[in-house]
Copies of this chain bind each other. A is one copy, B any other.
Amino acid sequence: MKAEIIAVGTELLLGQTVNTNATFLSEELASLGFEVYYHSVVGDNEARLLNLLALADTRSELIVLCGGLGPTQDDITKEVLAKHLNQPLEANEMALKKIVHHLTRLGRPITENNRKQSQNIKGGIPIQNPNGLALGTLYTIKNRSYLVLPGPPVELEPMFLKEVTPLLKKILPQEWVLDSRVLRFYGIGEAQLVTEIEELITHQMNPTIAAYAKSNEVTLRVTAKANTHEKAKELLDQAEKDIQKIVGKYFYGYGDNHSLEAETVGLLKKYHQTVTSAESLTAGLFQETLAKVPGVSQCFPGGFVTYSKEAKAQLLDISLDQLNQVGVVSKECACLMAEQSRLKLGTDYSISFTGVAGPEELEGKSAGTVWIGVSSKKSGTTAYLYQFNRDREYIRHSALMAGLNLLRQQILMEH
């Protein structure tokens, strides 16, 4: 069933408010089985809203309007929809009682604008608002429904979840479920990942596969449509199997709210391992990223930020002569940093970072040249060379992600 969302409010068009209602409603509508094809935002303007409603009638079977139900003169959404539907507005006793009660308690007069908030479009199902004064409405005529909700998310969201969802389920012509699974990949760009699984993406309509690039990682969202959750799971399992066969070596975990640091800290905890770090160009970014994960104290005692050459020598007991000889942007330096920091704190692992964040070059090496050292109590110490690009921030973030992944792989290899 085709749906669209129309948010009403000049504040959205001025960039003073973010249209998070469209995001919330889209996600909820999709999970109910509606296909949202359009979002629109229009100001508090009768002519433009009427035009948009006429357009929406040509393309959608569910039209969700949000915002513009407040008590000021600007707020015209319900009046304009009533005009479009050629229906009068009428008082809703329950909503009016609530407004009168609220304003009386505050000792404020009840104005015509206040009354307006309690009105319902004649023939529509009134939707009560537990967190506010504006009444919502669901109006259905023939095969088309109009849903009107207030703008503040704190009012709209509970109204939608509690009151609207059961009503919309009745409108839907059939009962099926849409289930999604998010797969997360590191070490492959969006374009390359999509190229490698192009066949799957192109030829599969159910489940659908969509790729999203994040900073230094890619996620795939696989979405299956079925009669039951069990059947959807089967479809998802098969699609995942097909995907993993091709790009499984880059896969690291599941879920929208997962991350490479959460995965890595999870492995440390699982195997009761500890880690420290000695950071030059990342300057604490690796350690503070580990510490984003609650409960990290089990596996992370602390570590070193050794930005200058002298700090590397002093804090890690490395000879300054040796550093002068090999240079700080070197495999030797990365290995010394990782090993010395691990020995000093007595951890199972240490990851070190040394290189050129830029914009200037260092020791004749260009910005983006980074050595990452891995020291393991079991397997000894080595270091890897990376050449990252773009700006200072991206280079440092790329080094962070590479370091997290090296640690993850090292733990997996040893357990």
Contacts and interface: CB of A to CB of B under 8 A. Distances in A.
Interface in A1-48: 7, 10-20, 22-30, 36-43, 45, 48
Given A283-B287, A305-B305, A392 B16 contact: no
Contacts of A10: 210
A191 B71 contact: yes
Interface in A136-177: 152, 154
Interface stretch (A77-85, A106-114, A245-253): A106-114
Nearest to A55: B55
10 nearest interchain CB pairs?
Answer: A284-B284, A15-B27, A283-B291, A302-B311, A15-B26, A71-B191, A39-B41, A284-B287, A284-B288, A301-B308
Nearest to A392: B294
Contact of A30 (B14, B102, B152, B396): B14
Interface stretch (A195-203, A232-240, A402-410): A195-203
Contacts of A345: 311, 314
Given A38-B41, A106-B189, A111-B191, A74 B210 contact: yes
- Contact-residue bracket for chain A: 35 or more
Contacts of A279: 284, 288
A190 B72 contact: yes
Interface string A49-75: 000100100000000000000111110
A248 to B, nearest CB: 18
A43 B39 contact: no
A357 interface: yes
Given A102-B389, A300-B307, A304-B304, 12 more contacts: A13-B30, A13-B36, A13-B39, A15-B27, A72-B190, A73-B198, A111-B195, A154-B215, A283-B287, A284-B286, A288-B396, A302-B311
A303 B305 contact: yes
A393 interface: yes
Nearest to A45: B37
A100 interface: no
Contacts of A277: 305
B292 A302 contact: no
A39 B36 contact: no
Interface string A174-195: 0000000000000001111011
